[in-house]
Amino acid sequence: MNLTRIWLAVGSMSYLVNDAQRTMDIAPVIVNDRTMVPLRFIAEALGAVVDWVGDTQTATVELDGKTLAVTIGELAPGMDVPAMLMDERTLVPLRYISEALGCDVLWEPSSQTVEITR
């Protein structure tokens, strides 16, 4: 498996995946002391497949035989801030989704930046 590194900053729609610049259509934000990120952009950058079921407002993420499901307004096991919709994007706690997908997370509070490594 190849190493994947993602660097992002709260408030910035630009992020790096293995030194390649990419753009999200909504920037990460802090909600209740948690960094919330658009699920699809982070999960797909890690190689996961993301699906959305509009009827139940549930996103599923599949990676390496593991499936996670998050529903808007509900807590998934291990999550302490529920998934939310913002500008039609599903936002989830960065640490929750990253660690659930087997990644390490490094938070730099002074610059509000994050490095995710898988």
Indicate the average pLDDT of the chain.
94
Q: How far apart are CA 80 and CA 8, in angstroms?
A: 21
**Res 1: pLDDT:** 58
Quick one: average pLDDT of 53-82?
94
The DSSP element (H or E) to which 100 belongs, if any, is helix 94-100
Q: What is the SS3 assignment for 71? A: strand
Q: How many CB atoms lie within 10 A of CB 90?
A: 22
User: What is the DSSP pairing of strand 49-53 with strand 20-23?
Assistant: unpaired
Strands 20-23, 14-17: pairing kind: antiparallel
- In this predicted structure, the answer to whether residue 4 has a pLDDT above a threshold of 90 is yes
112 pLDDT more than 90? yes
The fraction of the chain above a pLDDT of 70, given in percent, is 99
Q: Where are the domains of the chain?
A: 5-117
For residue 74, give both structure tokens: 């509900």
Does 72 score more than 80 pLDDT? yes
For domain 5-117, give the fold. Answer: Copper Amine Oxidase; Chain A, domain 1 (3.30.457)
pLDDT at 2: 79
Residue 17's identity, in one-letter code, is V
pLDDT of 63 higher than 80: yes
pLDDT value, residue 91: 97
State pLDDT tens for residues 11-37: 999 999 999 999 999 999 999 999 999
